[in-house]
Chains A and B, each alone.
Chain A
């Protein structure tokens, strides 16, 4: 609150405030997963739709609003996404087009990707190796900054207080002209996570207070966008984030581990618009430093892309490009460096009535290995004004991580890349204010890497073959009753992900649903708004999950609910103010996402945003 007063005093002078954007004609280049990802399922949230999640993490957003199952080791603890029944390392994550996954672990922790740092979140489902490259075996997450030109100056201060000692504060400032856009964000979060839980590891299962799950995070983000002239544009972003966490022990353990994750991320994009196409150069640098207790692990990745997009005729759009990556790791048991080269060709064809096609190809070289031919083919068919059909087929791949190949002891340099083949088909029905999308997919993952003990040493091997298939059904209805706006969203996901017979594994593991892969998930929300007031009730159901590959222990499903009450744009003195009251786990459900990892009960949060 002291900070709040300080900011009010410091920025007490009124600046120009307007909610109206002055739109001008600008050239927009869509990301490749939108431009060339025909036939694929996507979900997007823009800045307006994300405003209730500003003080939360990507993990919480996806757990509440997407069909993706989030494996979470506790509130603020390691969280990973499981698209379509695959594992955490099978999701590629990008920030402004730069891959974020750790090259040593092959995944990202979604709990330490705060929503305040991003303006737009997109999910792309399915194998996308041709379009996106490494790690996109079953899906990808795209975080990005919005276009900043021609917006009113803003200075927004946010504070949130919540149960269990939670406190968040953030400051966003932006200034832009027709040619220049600057945005700065600073944030700090502290969550002692002192929630009560039932300790099943002790006689009588007593209620205890969590005493080793504190979470602190701070960061700084700077976006810079410059239209050099009518044909050239430069975008740069820098993001520093540090998270310090007490690692919540599994019930029955008394470990007191501390983990610090620090990341520097930088992206630079140059665009030149020509008469026949667009020339683009993009560079990025990501440095991750992690301390687990006193053990230090450090990785860095440097990327350089060049792309050329041109229209041969009105019906053909072609993009040719290449990427070089320099990956290095300095870990507690090894050091390694690697250069990767990729070339890609994306083709869009729109020459047939109501039919649009994408054909994408990629070739990748790393060390002395070649991943020679990674294709994808997609089609959008507008059957009528109400119905359209999407279908696609493609391959994904994942280069074994640095740990997979070089960890001492156990690293296996002879591992092959994991690969997936996927086909999907979806029908979209849109009628007035209602839309419904039903998607069916079939996915097969080969060479799935698994760490197994050999004697006292754990080593990774290309051991497993997995077949996934499922249904995803998403619906949205918007209606208006007088001055009242009502929006309903609901969806259901069925995931059947089984381990195929494999002579290297016990037959009791064959044809069983993969661990921590719920077959059934459902979600729904209702939003009511009138003038400055809005109320939202949302809920999710996560079905039973097995804890092991033989499905010998099944954790029961759980149902969660949340509610938000918001009042927006009311005047507090000279300031426009938003206030939100939120209740998480409304029904105070006692639940675990992962076995013996307790999650918090009901919590209350109040959020204040002041437009200075």
Chain B
């Protein structure tokens, strides 16, 4: 999951600040999907049946396939990420496209449909889209030609440049005119100057960089190793490592949810032969550490509703049909379970 509540708040603040400076700009009325929880359903490989569901946590009402209903056509992709930036929602399909929709009603505003291979995430900076992309597979299923694609229009269009980066870039975060790239396979954080559209610095880190977030006025990186997880913060004036926190949590998958009181929830999976999944609780800024906070199987996504203090855990049910969502309170008690779309993998709390 590449988004979190803190990022969202930052983006909203930025958007509000920008819009507050514009005179005569009509205020957009609150749309149907501007509140509540968006459930990201990745879809099944080869079927391209990714979709977004909307949950009203107050009433429990779920609206299914909201992209298809708003646009009278299927999403037709594997939904990798949803980013709320620049007052738009960007739906990133790792099958090779970006759909840009109105966050209130999900009607299409634009798209990037060509010159992408396996996009993973996106950020908006300097009026441009920067899209992390694994690039094409080679004959050994390696991705030696990963890149950040640049689209010089926030409502999509054609890719104008591909900035080469280390293999398998994942999350992106903007800071001023710079973006940071989580290079997951080679353990690198690359800094891109969005005006020059080139990498200006590379920071070596341990593990597989997965997700950026902001806390306590800093940018942080969550990175996973086989036996431990790493949280790095950065000096943003010279892009060097500021702090490193290491927690002995094995088998973390890279999926993370940001709870209240600086508590984070990390998905783990033991892999072969037991395939036990779990949720570990950690805090970089506080004392929390509970590597075995919750256990189960089939976990595929995680999200936290900070307003209600509820953790959402997604189960893909083997991709044979729709997945299920289990809602937990902050003590790990199950509150409810309901059906989502196929391959639920993340949540965007609106």
**How distant is the Cα of A222 from the Cα of B319 in the complex, in angstroms?**
45
Contacts A251-B48, A254-B95, A254-B114: A596 and B318 contacting too (C-beta < 8 A)?
Answer: no
Q: Is there a chain A Cβ closer than 8 Å to B139's Cβ? A: yes
User: Which residues of A have CB within 8 Å of B275?
Assistant: 454-455
One of B32-40, B73-81, B240-248 contacting the partner:
B73-81
Residues of A within 8 A of B318 (CB): 450, 452-453, 505
Surface stretch bound by A, among B9-17, B229-237, B264-272, B301-309: B264-272
Q: Which stretch, A43-51, A201-209, A299-307, touches the partner chain B? A: A201-209
Are A295 and B96 within 8 A (Cβ)?
no
Q: Is the CB of A202 within 8 A of B272?
A: no
Q: With A and B bound together, what is the CA distance between A595 and B48 in angstroms?
A: 9
Cross-interface CB contact of A550 among B271, B277, B322, cutoff 8 Å: B322
Measured between beta carbons, the chain B residues less than 8 angstroms from A553 are: 49
Interface positions of A from 285 to 343, Cβ below 8 Å from B = 293-295
B322-349: which residues lie under 8 A (CB-CB) from chain A? 322, 324, 339, 341-342
- Could you tell me the distance in whole angstroms from the C-beta of A74 to the nearest C-beta in chain B? 12
Chain A residue nearest in CB terms to B50: A252
Tell which of B47, B48, B111 touches A203, judged by Cβ atoms closer than 8 Å: B111
The answer to whether A450 and B48 have CB atoms under 8 Å apart is: no
> Which single residue of chain A is at the shortest CB-CB distance from B47?
A595
A385 in contact (CB, < 8 A): no
Instruction: With CB as the reference atom, state the residue of chain A lying closest to B117.
Output: A254
In the complex, what distance in Å separates the CA atom of A437 from the CA atom of B44? 40
Interface assignment of B221: CB less than 8 Å from any CB of chain A: no
Q: Are B339's CB and A508's CB within 8 A?
A: yes
How many chain B residues touch A (CB < 8 A): the figure is 43
Q: Mark A404-435, 1 if CB is under 8 A from B, else 0.
A: 00000100000000000000000000000000
Asked if B321 and A550 sit within 8 Å, CB to CB, the answer is: yes
Number of A positions contacting B (CB below 8 A):
36
A250 at the interface (CB under 8 A from B): yes
Contact with B along A482-525 (1 / 0, CB 8 A): 00000000000000000000000110110010000000000000
Assess whether A457 is in contact with B320, with CB atoms less than 8 Å apart: no
Cβ-based interface call for A549 (8 A) = yes
Q: Which residue of A lies closest to B74 (CB)?
A: A200
Complex CA distance for A251 and B93, rounded to whole angstroms: 12
Cα–Cα, bound, A456→B275 (Å): 9
User: In the complex the two chains form, is A252's CB within 8 Å of B111's CB?
Assistant: no
Q: A294-B139, A455-B271, A455-B277 are in contact. Are A548 and B342 (CB under 8 A)?
A: yes
Interchain CB contact under 8 A, A505 and B320: yes
Whether A505 contacts B317 by the Cβ 8 Å rule is: yes
CB distance from A217 to the nearest CB of B (A): 23
List B residues 88-128 near A (Cβ within 8 Å).
93, 95-97, 108, 110-111, 113-114, 116-117
Contact of B48 among A253, A453, A508, A512 (CB under 8 A): A253
In this assembly, does A13 line the interface, its C-beta being within 8 Å of a C-beta of chain B? no
**Chain A residues closer than 8 Å to B74, beta-carbon distance:** 200-201, 596
Q: Does A552 contact B (CB under 8 A)?
A: yes
From A200, A456, A508, A549, give the contact of B73 (CB < 8 A).
A200
Give the secondary structure class of A's interface. Answer: loop
Are B271 and A251 in touch, CB under 8 angstroms? no
B77 and A508: CB pair below 8 A? no
A144 within 8 A of B: no
Query: Would you give the shortest CB distance from B197 to chain A, in whole angstroms?
Result: 23
- In chain A, what residue has the closest Cβ to B44? A548
Q: Tell whether B150 is near chain A: CB-to-CB under 8 Å.
A: no
Residue of B48, B137, B272 most packed against chain A (CB within 10 A): B48
The answer to whether B97 touches A509, judged by C-beta atoms less than 8 angstroms apart, is: no
Cβ contacts under 8 Å, B339 to chain A: 508, 550
Tell me, yes or no, whether B311 is within 8 Å of chain A by CB: no
Tell whether, in the assembled complex, residue B96 and residue A252 are in contact, meaning their CB atoms are under 8 Å apart: yes
A547 at the interface (CB under 8 A from B): yes
A250-280 to B contact mask, C-beta < 8 Å, 1/0: 1111110000000000000000000000000
Query: Closest residue of chain A to B316, judged by CB?
Result: A453
Cα distance, A293 to B137, chains bound together (Å): 10
Contact B47 A547 (CB under 8 A): yes
Per-position 1/0 for B31-72, Cβ under 8 A of A: 000000000000010111100000000000000000000010
- Whether B316 pairs with A251 at a CB distance below 8 angstroms is no
Q: Is the CB of A202 within 8 A of B49?
A: no
Q: Write the chain A residue with the least CB distance to B339.
A: A508
| Chain B contacts for A454, CB-based, 8 A | 271-272, 275, 297
Residues of chain B from 167 to 223 with CB closer than 8 A to chain A in the complex? none
Of B44, B77, B110, which contacts A252 at CB under 8 A? B77
Contact B269 A456 (CB under 8 A): yes
Contact A254-B317, Cβ < 8 Å, known A455-B269, A547-B49: no
Quick one: closest B residue to A512, CB to CB?
A: B321
State the Cβ distance, A428 to closest chain B Cβ, in Å. Answer: 39
A–B pairs, 24, beta carbons within 8 Å: A200-B74, A201-B97, A201-B113, A202-B113, A203-B108, A203-B110, A250-B47, A251-B48, A252-B76, A252-B96, A452-B319, A453-B316, A455-B253, A455-B269, A456-B271, A505-B318, A505-B320, A506-B320, A508-B317, A508-B339, A509-B320, A548-B49, A596-B48, A596-B74
Closest 8 CB pairs of A and B: A252-B76, A550-B321, A201-B76, A294-B139, A452-B318, A455-B269, A454-B275, A254-B96
Given A295-B139, A552-B322, output 15 extra A-B contacts at Cβ < 8 Å: A201-B97, A203-B108, A252-B96, A254-B96, A254-B97, A254-B116, A453-B318, A454-B297, A456-B271, A505-B318, A506-B324, A509-B321, A547-B47, A550-B322, A552-B341
B: which residues have CB within 8 A of A?
A: 44, 46-49, 71, 73-77, 93, 95-97, 108, 110-111, 113-114, 116-117, 137, 139, 253, 269-272, 275, 277, 297, 316-322, 324, 339, 341-342
